[in-house]
């Protein structure tokens, strides 16, 4: 089966240790306000993102599509996203673009009224690779139509590609190719666990992308995911690469600060609670994205996904209450304290002067 790797990813993410060694959200604190002076019952978590109104600043980040079990996962996620009025991305649509018979595992999203739907293709697929031709604008449009997407995430996953046996490691020309796509359809540049630096964000903005999902370090490590696959295949060099680069990247909270170049930011990477979502917004993100936290419930039922997301939204509201923010805008203006390891990163990266 051609896309057994997609099923492997789900299995490994459910059953193995794929966490980055540190979850950097522990180093971010919000300042408690003893008398919040707002009514918790009147807190409004709604936010606008890419012209769509979301009931809460929460995105179900890309997980899957293109194999047998993927349809029910995407159905459960889409049903929950529609019910709660939040955004959702699908996993890479490459399997269905290359094998249209696999499209139904993505198309299922169209059956639900999800306020913001995010398509997904990989930057490596936009340029020629060893054994493959590049996807063009027509393929990107097909991906959008497949799920009635509002925006297309182009994922930047070269860390994963270097640890993958079948990895696409030609990155030359990707930025240019993304720029061409961005001229015709709305594009979200999305990392997958190694973060976006300021220079990278500026280059992406110049190419016309509409937003950035920083996909930073601190949660799912795709170097770790591919490490487990490489060990299973006795691929010594790839196992070694996976182990060495397990914690490679820019921590998500720091990447939010780095990638702030005037575009809406989605903060994905190691968010586990609504408090993490609140922290990400205080740092400058428009919404927080969660992927692996929702994977297990997504394999169970829509109710299980809804239950988890309702807890996340309850935690977000509690954090807003305790800092005295009745609107998302006010949460964005809330002071943030950076401690520990992350403050060392921050000091080291601050420009001299
Ligand atoms: C099982 C699994 C599959 C994923 N597949 C994709 C994908 O196809 N495309 C993509 O852009 N990101 C993909 N991701 C990356 C996530 O969208 C996210 O950026 C990353 O996992 C970090 O978030 P987390 O720490 O909340 O898991 C996947 C994540 C998981 C757990």
Strand partners, 30: 336
User: Would you tell me the crossing angle of helices 70-84 and 302-323 to the nearest 10 degrees?
Assistant: 40
- CB of 155 closer than 6 A to ligand 1? yes
Distance (Å) from CA 106 to ligand 1 centroid = 15
**Pairing between β-strand 47-49 and β-strand 52-54 as defined by DSSP bridges:** antiparallel
Q: How far apart are CA 200 and CA 213, in angstroms?
A: 12
Contact 292, 35 (CB under 8 A): no
* DSSP secondary structure code for residue 212 in this structure: E
The ligand 1 atom at the shortest distance from the C-alpha of residue 268 is 23
Confidence at residue 130, expressed as pLDDT on a 0 to 100 scale: 86
Taking each continuous run of H as one helix and of E as one strand, the counts in the chain are 16, 12
Distance of CA 229 to the CA centre of its chain: 22
Whether 214 lines ligand 1, by a CB cut-off of 6 Å, is no
pLDDT of residue 353 exceeding 70, the answer is no
The answer, yes or no, to whether any atom of ligand 1 lies below 6 A from the CB of 291, is yes
Q: Is the CB of 268 inside a 6 Å radius of any atom of ligand 1?
A: yes
Q: Average pLDDT for residues 65-91, to the nearest whole number?
A: 97
For 251, residues 6+ apart whose C-beta sits below 8 A from its C-beta are 22, 24, 195, 216, 217, 218, 269, 342, 345
Q: Considering only 158-167, 170-179, 197-206, which range has the smallest mean pLDDT?
A: 158-167
Does residue 59 sit in helix, strand or coil? strand
User: Is 73's C-beta closer than 6 angstroms to any atom of ligand 1?
Assistant: no
Here the tokens at position 320 are: 């807003």
User: For 95-114, what is each residue's pLDDT tens digit?
Assistant: 999 999 999 999 999 999 99
pLDDT for res 1: 44
Size of the chain in residues = 353
pLDDT score of 285: 98
Q: For residues 25-43, give the mean pLDDT.
A: 97
Question: Average model confidence (pLDDT) for the chain?
Answer: 96
User: Sign of dihedral through CA atoms 300, 304, 309, 315?
Assistant: negative
Given a contact cutoff of 8 angstroms between Cβ atoms, the answer to whether 336 and 279 are in contact is yes
Q: What is the pLDDT of residue 349?
A: 87
Buried b (16+ CB within 10 A) or exposed e, 278-297: bbbbbbbbbbbbbbbbbbeb
Distance CA 297, CA 79 (A): 12
Cβ of residue 277 lying under 6 Å from some atom of ligand 1: no
Nearest to 29 by CA among 334, 316, 287: 334
Q: Tell me, using a 6 A CB cutoff, whether residue 159 lines ligand 1.
A: no
Mutate which of 3, 58, 61, 268 for ligand 1? The one with the most ligand atoms within 8 Å of its CB, which is 61
pLDDT at position 2 = 55
Q: Other CB atoms closer than 10 Å to residue 202's CB: what's the count?
A: 14
Distance 5 CA to ligand 1 centre (A): 14
Binned at pLDDT 50, 70 and 90, residue 352 comes out as low
Q: How far is the CA of 195 from the centre of ligand 1 (A)?
A: 13
- Sign of the alpha-carbon dihedral angle for 156, 161, 162, 168: negative
* Predicted confidence (pLDDT) per residue in 221-273, tens digit: 999 999 999 999 999 999 999 999 999 999 999 999 999 999 999 999 999 99
Q: Residue 63 C-alpha to ligand 1 middle, in angstroms?
A: 5
What is the pTM for the complete model shown?
0.97
Domains, the chain, in order of start with CATH, read 4-349 (3.20.20.70)
Q: Report, as an integer, the average pLDDT of 335-351.
A: 92
In angstroms, the CA 190 to CA 174 distance is: 13
Question: Which residue has the least CA distance to atom 11 on ligand 1?
Answer: 155
Ligand 1 pocket residue status of 251, Cβ below 6 Å: no
Question: Is the CB–ligand 1 distance for residue 120 below 6 Å?
Answer: yes
Residues sharing a CB contact under 8 Å with residue 179, sequence separation 6 or more, in sequence order: 207, 208
The answer, yes or no, to whether any atom of ligand 1 lies below 6 A from the CB of 124, is: no
For residue 13, how far is its CA from the centre of ligand 1 (angstroms)? 10
């Amino acid at each position: 089966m051609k896309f057994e790797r997609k099923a492997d990813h789900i299995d490994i993410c459910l059953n193995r240790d794929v966490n980055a060694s540190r979850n950097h959200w522990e180093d971010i604190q919000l300042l408690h306000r003893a008398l919040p002076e707002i009514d918790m019952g009147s807190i409004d978590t709604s936010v606008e993102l890419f012209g769509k109104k979301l009931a809460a600043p929460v995105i179900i980040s890309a997980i899957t599509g293109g194999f047998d079990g993927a349809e029910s996962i995407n159905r459960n996620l889409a049903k929950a996203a529609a019910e709660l009025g939040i955004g959702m991305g699908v996993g890479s649509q490459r399997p269905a673009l290359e094998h249209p018979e696999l499209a139904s595992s993505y198309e299922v999203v169209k059956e639900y009224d999800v306020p913001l739907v995010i398509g997904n293709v990989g930057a490596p697929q936009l340029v020629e690779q060893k054994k493959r031709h590049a996807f063009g604008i027509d393929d990107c449009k097909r991906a959008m139509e497949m799920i009635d997407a509002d925006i297309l995430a182009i994922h930047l996953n070269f860390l994963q590609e270097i640890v993958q046996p079948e990895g696409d490691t030609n990155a030359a020309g990707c930025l240019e190719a993304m720029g061409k796509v961005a001229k015709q359809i709305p594009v979200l540049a999305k990392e997958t666990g190694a973060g976006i630096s300021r220079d990278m964000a500026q280059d992406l903005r110049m190419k016309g992308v509409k937003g950035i999902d920083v996909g930073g370090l601190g949660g799912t490590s795709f170097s770790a995911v591919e490490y487990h696959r490489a060990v299973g295949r006795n691929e010594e060099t790839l196992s070694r690469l996976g182990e060495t680069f397990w914690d490679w990247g820019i921590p998500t909270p720091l990447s939010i600060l780095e990638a702030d170049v005037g575009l809406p930011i989605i903060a994905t990477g190691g968010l586990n609670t609504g408090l993490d979502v609140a922290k990400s917004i205080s740092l400058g993100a428009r919404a927080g994205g969660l992927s692996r936290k929702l994977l297990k419930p997504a394999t169970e039922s829509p109710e299980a996904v809804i239950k988890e997301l309702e807890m996340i939204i309850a935690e977000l509201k509690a954090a807003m209450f305790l800092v005295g923010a009745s609107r998302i805008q006010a949460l964005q203006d809330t002071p943030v304290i950076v401690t520990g390891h992350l403050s060392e990163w921050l000091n080291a990266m601050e420009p001299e002067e």
